[in-house]
A and B are shown apart, each in its own frame.
Chain A
Amino acid sequence: MVNQQAALNTLFHALADPTRRAVISRLLKGAAPVTRLAAPFDMGLPAFLKHLAVLETSGLIRSEKQGRVRTCHIDADRLAAAEGWLGEQRAIWQSRTDRLAAFVESQTAEEKNP
């Protein structure tokens, strides 16, 4: 579980930056070379490559170099893990509400049929 938590931290740290989220949004439309990914952003290539490194470390994106061109693409499984976190929070509250209902309804039934 600790490992899973650490992985989630890395993941959400990667998603916590607007530039990195924009890169993810772009890559969801399809793979793209680094130079084209960097084009919309008003920053130097070294700064942009740092963002890409964070994304690669988190496992959200992968890249392959062919000749002089490095192409990036999304790792869908890692993105699903991020989505899964909120789903998990939801499940916690859902089951808590179910238990509350069961408890309250059983108390009420006892009062009616002592």
Chain B
Amino acid sequence: MTTDTELTISRLIAAPPSAVWEAWSIPANLEKWWIPAPIACRVDTLDLRPGGGFVTRMREGDGDWQPHIDGCFLEAVPEQRLVFTTVLTEGWQPADPWLAVTAILTFEARDGGTLYSARVLHKNPEDSAKHDEMGFQEGWGTAIGQLAALIER
């Protein structure tokens, strides 16, 4: 169910919630999938507790590291649930992000795997692009093709 301000995505992952949590909670792992290649991802802050900072940066080729996400975790229940927002930064500091979202991620054990669900709430689409310094819209749809290569090993 997707409204005009909310996206929901869910997927069954053939691995237990503990493995999904490891992919999320270890910076070196998160860097591998958070942003699609060839754009590189750097995890600067991954403080998984309410009020903890969440900062990722991105870089194309050998360019400069660009802002990506600068947010704040609202909830972090290991292997179960993760909530972050870009409307606050570390320590619940109010912010004026280029894209205001709250993401609610849940990991449910299901048939030996994990039902991974993301609900992404937006204020409304009109504040989507305050800063155009990020080529956010470019090259994002290409990830799925590269994915096959990763799976077929």
A90 and B19 CA atoms in complex are apart in Å by 24
Which of B24, B122, B126, B132 makes the CB contact (< 8 A) with A1? B132
- The B interface, classified by DSSP as helix, strand, loop or mixed, is mixed
Give A31 Cβ to nearest chain B Cβ, in Å: 25
Nearest B residue to A13, CB-CB: B126
Could you tell me if B141 and A91 are in contact, using CB atoms closer than 8 angstroms?
yes
Please give, as numbers and ranges, the residues of chain A lying within 8 Å of B140 by CB-CB distance.
Answer: 88, 91-92, 95
Could you tell me if B2 and A90 are in contact, using CB atoms closer than 8 angstroms?
yes
Which of A8, A92, A98 makes the CB contact (< 8 A) with B147? A98
Could you tell me if B9 and A9 are in contact, using CB atoms closer than 8 angstroms?
no
A103 and B149 CA atoms in complex are apart in Å by 11
Which of A12, A82, A100 makes the CB contact (< 8 A) with B116? A100
User: B12-23 interface mask toward A, CB cutoff 8 Å, 1 = contact, 0 = none?
Assistant: 011110011011
A-B contact count (CB 8 A): 119
Could you tell me if B11 and A104 are in contact, using CB atoms closer than 8 angstroms?
no
A16 and B22 CA atoms in complex are apart in Å by 41
Q: Which of B30-38, B44-52, B86-94 lies on the face that meets chain A?
A: B30-38
Could you tell me if B20 and A106 are in contact, using CB atoms closer than 8 angstroms?
no
User: A95-114 interface mask toward B, CB cutoff 8 Å, 1 = contact, 0 = none?
Assistant: 11111111111111100000
**Given that A82-B125, A97-B116 are contacting pairs, would A104 and B9 also be in contact in the complex, using a CB cutoff of 8 Å?**
no
> What class of interface size applies to chain B in its complex with A?
35 or more
Give B24 Cβ to nearest chain A Cβ, in Å: 8
Which of B13, B132, B144, B153 makes the CB contact (< 8 A) with A5? B132
User: Most B CB atoms within 10 A — which of A2, A98, A104?
Assistant: A104
A41 contacts chain B at the CB level, 8 A cutoff: no
Which of A12, A91, A93 makes the CB contact (< 8 A) with B127? A12
Which of B126, B143, B144 makes the CB contact (< 8 A) with A16? B126
**Given that A98-B147, A104-B20 are contacting pairs, would A89 and B124 also be in contact in the complex, using a CB cutoff of 8 Å?**
no
A93 and B35 CA atoms in complex are apart in Å by 10
A109 and B151 CA atoms in complex are apart in Å by 10
Could you tell me if A4 and B15 are in contact, using CB atoms closer than 8 angstroms?
no
Question: What are 23 A-B pairs with beta-carbon distances under 8 A?
Answer: A1-B135, A1-B137, A5-B137, A12-B124, A12-B127, A15-B126, A16-B124, A86-B122, A86-B125, A88-B141, A89-B128, A93-B120, A94-B9, A95-B147, A97-B10, A98-B11, A99-B32, A99-B33, A101-B13, A103-B150, A104-B13, A106-B151, A108-B15
Top-3 shortest CB links A-B: A12-B126, A99-B33, A95-B143
